[in-house]
Amino acid sequence: MTDRGWYDDSEYHNAVQRAERAERFGWATIAGTAGALGCALIVSVALCVVAVVACLYIVVAMDY
């Protein structure tokens, strides 16, 4: 017979704690990736707007 008691749940609690840490890490990774993709999308849209404005400026400047 083992030295542990009948109602020893320490292994269960350790597994639950590890699972909670893994879940927090997973959500943090998902949030960081979504944030980085959002920033990249904003930058790419801003660059496209700048390119369109620059092209329009060149077209208007050619008419004078």
> Which tokens is 52 given?
């369109």
Per-residue model confidence as pLDDT tens digits over 6-47: 667 788 899 999 999 999 999 999 999 999 999 999 999 999
Per-residue model confidence as pLDDT tens digits over 32-43: 999 999 999 999
Calculate the CA dihedral of residues 7, 8, 14, 17 and round it to 10 degrees.
40
In single-letter form, the type of residue at position 16 comes to V
**How far are the Cα atoms of 10, 30, 34 from residue 37, in angstroms, in the given order?**
41, 11, 5
pTM score of the predicted model = 0.66
